[in-house]
Amino acid sequence: MSTKQWIIPFALQLVPGGILFFGMFFCKESPRWLAKSGQWEKALSNLSYIRHLPADHEYIHYEIHEMRAQLEHEAKWAHGSNFFTQFKELRLKGIRNRLAIGMCMMMCQNLTGINAINYYSPIIFKSLGVASTSTSLFATGVYGIVKMCTTIIALVWILDRFGRRKLLIIGGTGAALAMFYIGGFVAVAHPSGDTQQTAGGYVAIVMIYIFVIFYCASWNGIVWIYCSEVSRSSSDSY
């Protein structure tokens, strides 16, 4: 194994990191933070920029009004209360349910096993019968590309068309079936990189990609969106 096999993948990560770094200089400040800081004119300007609507548009004024009402409610509610008094609000039914849903979804996302595959995919591919180290690294690279492309396609073209709940159910079911096959194959065949690849081993490798397709089309991005939308509904209820 040459040093290029790990230096090049690490170097490629500088590209998205560099884009993010320079992009932050052009990122607008959050309108809600500006409003909370009393900078309402700048908040209106940034909100207009984000929504691609003129500052005098009806929807912009509606959102600014809702923002002002929420901040006034928070200021009134927090006046004269300490941390423990505010912490007790978590026991309220509406807030408690939203908090529980968000925490459970985040825990379930990590329990899917995606992080284990991300970190140990070369070893996993090798344990499924991929004998060559370079081949297992190549399979890992293809895995990363499939993951990225599936996430982009799901977020841009699929998510808003089919909804959150349905995709979470479909994605979880598909990913579980793929993992059940991999687990069954390993338990029965006991594959290793020293043995000759079998048809079942090829199917197990394909199941890794099927797993990540179902996962990235559902639990990879929807969880973050769903939690933000649930918390937003909490603020809208004021």
- CA atoms within 13 A of residue 170's CA, in its CB half-sphere: 15
| Token couple for 90 | 């978590």
> Is residue 131 within a helix (H) or strand (E), and if so which, with residue range?
none
How many degrees, rounded to 5, is the angle at CA 140 between CA 136 and CA 145?
A: 150
> For residues 145 and 139, is the Cβ–Cβ distance under 8 A?
no
Evaluate if residue 194 carries a pLDDT over 70: no
* Residues whose CB falls within 8 Å of the CB of residue 29, separated by 6 or more in sequence, listed in order: 42, 46
124-154 pLDDT tens trace: 888 887 777 777 778 888 998 999 999 999 9
Task: Indicate the domain borders of the chain.
Answer: 29-80, 103-229
Mean pLDDT of the 51-59 span: 95
Q: Which of 185, 217, 236 is nearest to 70 (CA)?
A: 236
Burial 133-166 (b: 16+ CB within 10 A, else e): eeebbebbeebeebbeebbeebbeeebeeeebee
How confident is residue 93, by pLDDT bands cut at 50, 70 and 90? Answer: confident
3 burial (CB, 10 Å; 0-12 / 13-18 / 19+) is exposed
Candidate from 36-45, 133-142, 190-199 with smallest mean pLDDT:
190-199
Mean pLDDT of the 172-189 span: 93
| Token couple for 105 | 């979804």
DSSP category for residue 113: S
What's the pLDDT at 238?
A: 44
Q: Candidates 2.40.10.10, 3.20.20.140, 1.20.1250.20, 1.20.1630.10; correct CATH number of 103-229?
A: 1.20.1250.20
- Between 138 and 156, the higher pLDDT residue: 156
How confident is residue 208, by pLDDT bands cut at 50, 70 and 90? Answer: very high
Interatomic CA distance for residues 74 and 139, integer angstroms: 51
Q: How far is CA 29 from the centre of its chain?
A: 22
Interatomic CA distance for residues 44 and 17, integer angstroms: 30
